[in-house]
Amino acid sequence: MSELSEERREAGQEGVGSPTGTALGMKIQDLSAFYGSFKAVTDVSVDIRANKVTALIGPSGCGKSTFIRCLNRMHEVIPGARAEGRVLLGEQDIYTRGADPVVIRRQVGMVFQKPNPFSKSVYENVAWGARINGYKGDMDALVERSLKQAALWDEVKDRLKESGYELSGGQQQRLCIARTLAVEPEVILMDEPASALDPVSTQKIEDTMEDLKRNYTVVIVTHNMQQAARISDYTGFFYIQNMGDPGRLWEFDETEKMFSNPDRKETEDYVTGRFG
């Protein structure tokens, strides 16, 4: 168990704690991902810096989503899918024998492309995860804090008993972010969280990112390169050199560098829209 989790357990907040400010980073070493015999991603080694936003960009089908699903052991839930290599959350190898995928997924939360609230009230959507994890603290305070962190509180504070389905698409996505935050993860993975949203909702999600990284490590997959340039500290470019090859992490650097003067031609061609 990580040092941070240890501290939380001692504080009686196992699995759910208050934001401490410092999150854990991730270290990925020689990670490859398979669907049956098909290798979708190969040999990815990269450090995901703590308390930073890392954006993953690249053409469709190059393995970005597959890669982040390996970071919280979601990849293996697909029949025949597996991953090889090491993924460290802090010092803990999440693929080591005995590592509990459920605990890992609580520490490394995920927000999906399409908002998927539960068919419960706004309040219960946020409280549910913490409750089943045995949270003994002030649930009202936890719900309020999570909704505030997701920049949704002001819009729903008088609608907490309404169904999550009653909210707009953008609000539903922020509700899903609040739900993820309520179990106090170290890392939040976001797979195109704003691709189905209008510009105003997208802007709210992006504004939320800046606040989130104070307490969490964020990894976001996006097809919107301006979004990656706006919100991320680091950017990774995934690329498939030849049809049928597995995806590779082609270049990884600070976002400023990636969008002003990347080292590799393929990266520059992609970010300038000169592919094809």
- Does residue number 60 form part of the binding site for other proteins (CB under 8 A)? no
- Does residue number 273 form part of the binding site for other proteins (CB under 8 A)? yes
| Surface-to-core class of residue 120, CB atoms within 10 Å of its CB (0-12 exposed, 13-18 middle, 19+ buried) | middle
| Of the candidate residues 45, 96, 241, 260, the single one contacting other proteins (CB under 8 A) | 260
Which span sits near other proteins by CB under 8 A: 13-21, 56-64, 90-98, 267-275? 267-275
Please report how close the Cβ of residue 273 comes to other proteins at its closest, in angstroms.
5
Between 90 and 262, CB nearer to other proteins: 262
- Does residue number 56 form part of the binding site for other proteins (CB under 8 A)? no
Distance in angstroms (rounded) separating the CA atoms of residues 215 and 186: 8
- Does residue number 194 form part of the binding site for other proteins (CB under 8 A)? no
- Does residue number 199 form part of the binding site for other proteins (CB under 8 A)? no
Distance in angstroms (rounded) separating the CA atoms of residues 94 and 96: 6
| Of the candidate residues 127, 188, 229, 249, the single one contacting other proteins (CB under 8 A) | 229
- Does residue number 225 form part of the binding site for other proteins (CB under 8 A)? yes
Please report how close the Cβ of residue 136 comes to other proteins at its closest, in angstroms.
49
Distance in angstroms (rounded) separating the CA atoms of residues 99 and 5: 14
**Distances from the Cα of 208 to the Cαs of 16, 34, 126, 231, in angstroms?**
20, 33, 17, 10
DSSP 62-99: SSHHHHHHHTTT-GGGSTTEEEEEEEEETTEETTSTT-
Please report how close the Cβ of residue 257 comes to other proteins at its closest, in angstroms.
9
For residue 6, the number of C-alpha atoms closer than 13 Å in the C-beta half-sphere is 6
| Of the candidate residues 161, 226, 242, 243, the single one contacting other proteins (CB under 8 A) | 226
Distance in angstroms (rounded) separating the CA atoms of residues 74 and 110: 9
| Of the candidate residues 60, 119, 242, 261, the single one contacting other proteins (CB under 8 A) | 261
Which span sits near other proteins by CB under 8 A: 7-15, 97-105, 179-187, 256-264? 256-264
